[in-house]
Amino acid sequence: MAFDTEPKRDFKVVGRRVARPDGIDKVTGRALYGADMSAPGMLMGAILRSPHAHAEIVSIDVTAAVALDGVKAVVTGADFADAMDAATADVRDNCLARGKVLYDGHAVAAVAAASGAIARAALDLIKVEYRVLPSVTDVDLAMRADAPVVQAGRAVEVVPVGLSENVTDHCEFGHGDPEAGFAAADLVIDRSFTTAATHQGYIEPHACLASMGPDGKADLWCTTQGQWAVRTACSAILGMRASQLRVTASEIGGGFGGKTTVFIEPVALALSRKAGRPVKIVMSRTEVFRATGPTVASSIDVKIGMTKEGRITAGTATLRYTGGAFPCGTVAMGAQAAFAAYDLAAVRTFGWNALTNRPKEAAYRAPGAPQAIYAVESVVDELCQKLALDPLEVRLLNAAREGTRSSYGPTFEAIGLEATLEAAKAHPHYAAPLAAGQGRGLSCGFWFNFGGNTSVSLTINTDGTVGITEGNPDIGGSRAAISQMAAEELGIPYEQVRTVIADTSSLGHNDVTDGSRVTFAVGLAVIKAARDAIAKMCARVARIWGIDPEAVEWVDGAARPTGPNAGTFPPMTLAEIAALSFKTGGPIAGHHESNADGAGVSFGVHLVDVEVDRETGATKVLRYTVFQDAGKAVQPDYVEGQMQGGAVQGIGWALNEEYIHDAEGHLLNPGFLDYRVPVASDLPPIEAVILEIPNPGHPYGVRGVGETPIVPPLAAIANAVSRAAGVRLTALPMSPPRVLKALTAQG
């Protein structure tokens, strides 16, 4: 069902800015988020967290807490199952520590009590004896042979011996001979960069309600990006069979990748199992910062050679990432993405991951790519400056295109990078004059995108409306987009379709809402489910008309006779067929289950103007334009929202957001006051320019759009600030003290 095998169609519903189905619920407060669920007899849970960044747990004495009036259960890591795969065991040990605490805020024990106040009071009664160990939070220090070892024996086989035991992962990608490429260059620049760990910053803290009966059957309501992933992790950690646990996803207040794993859900289930009562846990904002996943922190070296005409002759990068206290493979994605925008004869990237005493990394939009591309695009920009070349022309000259062997191996199919660059070049923003003290920055961005496992059900209701049951929590407008694609395929109005998100007992497995996969993969599945339902409706009509099913076609929401021997019958609409369904064979529904390929990679280009206050180091973002290939924009408002949202998160990451630790590894800024996401008044209007280069892998040409927009902002802003300041900034965030120091050093 590739795009080029589809009949050309004029879209009637897809591409329209339809009303969002969750809008009224969200503005009136009717929408039920994670913390809104409650149950009769419910207890409140609270979690005791480590005050140390690294310590051995010598003993935990819960006697006094258990004895407190109103306390119904206390659990520790010993209440979880022992046998499971290593990755799930890491998730388990992150939910409640075993043996050692690995970062400031690591959960140690939990209490369920008649009220939140009693539960919190009980936490103070739990006596934990720690033997404090030396800690390390900096990735470069953690890789040194003399660094404190966070966890021993965790390195994968390809990691060379003789390094610190903190080094867990190593990878290498590329082709060609970089040394020969550098020798052919007119200018080679070699620079080192650092990026701070940042948090996804979703507004809704993690929250869940768990209820387990004495027979071991359990229900879990939680805010998540994937209820099946929650079920898989929790059933393993609790030692349950999957069928015994039903997980229902609430409305979700932002995730950005951070809600693709579990933190409190297994704890609430363990407490409920022990107490015999429903248990609710709601994280505070402080807990969200201390104990849920930030992105990796990184240290990156990039070397690029360029001819004086602007052709890149070779590029290499060494990326050192830390995903916190547990092994983390994110660096492999950074190492693959680093040079993806370029058509290179010689390219090589090396990735390393090291353990540090930081919270366990969780995915954050295009994990690993923003850091790598920030470093590469900074060096490309500096080469353009030193060779007096136009940065957009240089990118066009070197751009990856259809047929390019990518820096990470595969050969690209139809991609939109060149068209996106041309759109940026033609846009008035690129030619607008700049005043003194202002700078313009540019960066390309790339993300792989993903398809994955999907199961959907589409029912034809007897009143002619359509219900869709799908399994991916809606974090970016997917319910609207899915309804639009179903309406398009069925030939009925959008308003006739309602999409709901099912629990884990109502559908087959669905992968988490990640990899920008939902509009692509669930959309594809819904189109196929609609075609399944259409085939069934045509068969019903064929029976009514007494002709072959092949002699019935579906046009504009109705069955019509087709072919020389079909005879003449007036079209039967979906509503008419639905109304007769009980008499023609029973209810009508369409289904589709698949593991989708063909997601189609995605490119974007960001253009930004900034002004730097030379006396304070403060950066003001003046103008921002995002160009991105959406394949086909199903609901353009949501596509623009993704593009603007990525830019905004990137602005925060570039300018102010960072995890700040003291020398002992304590997190100093676990709150929105000192972890500075941008506020509305920090931001200019962000113009979003959507390009539509159809994805060959989707019947409507749809490409995922959710992750690529966070990739270019770091470099685009760094390039703009560096040009405005007249000095190259190589560390993120470019906070005012850091920029002022660079300006002062420059004199």
Partner 1 sequence: MRYARPETATEAVGLLANEAGVTRVLAGGTDVLVQLRAGSVTPDLIVDIKRIAGLRAITPEAGGFRIGAAVSGAELGEHAALCALWPGVVEGCNLIGSTQVQGRATMAGNLCNGSPAADAVPGLVAAEATARIEGPTGPRECAVADIPTGPGKTAVQRDEIVTSIFLPARPARSGDAYLRFIPRTEMDIAVASAAVNLTLATDGTIAAARVVLGAVAPTVVLVTEAATALIGNRPDAATLATLQAACSAACNPIDDKRGTAEFRTQVAGVLAKRATLIAYARAGGSL
Residues in touch with partner 1 (CB under 8 A): 615-618, 655-656, 660, 668-669, 673-674, 676, 678-679, 681-682, 735-737, 740-741, 744
H helix or E strand, kind and range, residue 545: helix 523-545
Q: How far is the CB of 659 from partner 1 (least distance, A)?
A: 11
* Phi then psi dihedrals of residue 628, to 5 deg: -150, 145
Q: How far is the CB of 186 from partner 1 (least distance, A)?
A: 39
- CB nearer partner 1, residue 274 or residue 285: 285
- CB nearer partner 1, residue 4 or residue 615: 615
Distance CA 58, CA 76 (A): 13
- CB nearer partner 1, residue 120 or residue 591: 120
SS3 640: helix
- CB nearer partner 1, residue 141 or residue 618: 618
- CB nearer partner 1, residue 411 or residue 744: 744
602, 639 contact by CB (below 8 A)? no
Q: How far is the CB of 669 from partner 1 (least distance, A)?
A: 5
Tokens representing residue 536 in the block? 């069934």
Q: How far is the CB of 282 from partner 1 (least distance, A)?
A: 14
Residue in 179, 152, 186, 206 with CA at minimum distance from that of residue 33: 206
Helices (H), 241-284: 265-275
- CB nearer partner 1, residue 386 or residue 741: 741
Q: How far is the CB of 65 from partner 1 (least distance, A)?
A: 17
Cis upstream peptide for 733 (omega within 30°): yes
Q: How far is the CB of 197 from partner 1 (least distance, A)?
A: 14
- CB nearer partner 1, residue 358 or residue 517: 358
- CB nearer partner 1, residue 63 or residue 616: 616
Q: How far is the CB of 388 from partner 1 (least distance, A)?
A: 33
650 to 47, 513, 581, 617, 708: CA distances (angstroms): 32, 21, 52, 19, 11
- CB nearer partner 1, residue 312 or residue 740: 740
Strands annotated E in 87-140: 100-101, 107-113, 127-132
Residue in 359, 369, 368, 225 with CA at minimum distance from that of residue 292: 359
Burial of 506 (0-12, 13-18, 19+ CB in 10 A): middle
Distance CA 418, CA 198 (A): 31
Q: How far is the CB of 385 from partner 1 (least distance, A)?
A: 27
DSSP-assigned states of every residue in 328-393: --HHHHHHHHTTTTB--SSEEEEEEEE--SSPPP---SSTTHHHHHHHHHHHHHHHHHHTT--HHH
Q: How far is the CB of 31 from partner 1 (least distance, A)?
A: 22
* Phi then psi dihedrals of residue 81, to 5 deg: -70, 160
190 to 78, 314, 419, 651: CA distances (angstroms): 50, 12, 30, 25
Q: How far is the CB of 344 from partner 1 (least distance, A)?
A: 38
- CB nearer partner 1, residue 152 or residue 673: 673
Q: How far is the CB of 128 from partner 1 (least distance, A)?
A: 18
Q: How far is the CB of 668 from partner 1 (least distance, A)?
A: 5
- CB nearer partner 1, residue 660 or residue 727: 660
Distance CA 747, CA 738 (A): 14
Amino acid (one-letter) located at 287: E
Positive or negative: CA dihedral 105, 286, 77, 358: negative
Distance CA 52, CA 102 (A): 8
- CB nearer partner 1, residue 616 or residue 746: 616
Amino acid (one-letter) located at 500: V
101, 57 contact by CB (below 8 A)? yes
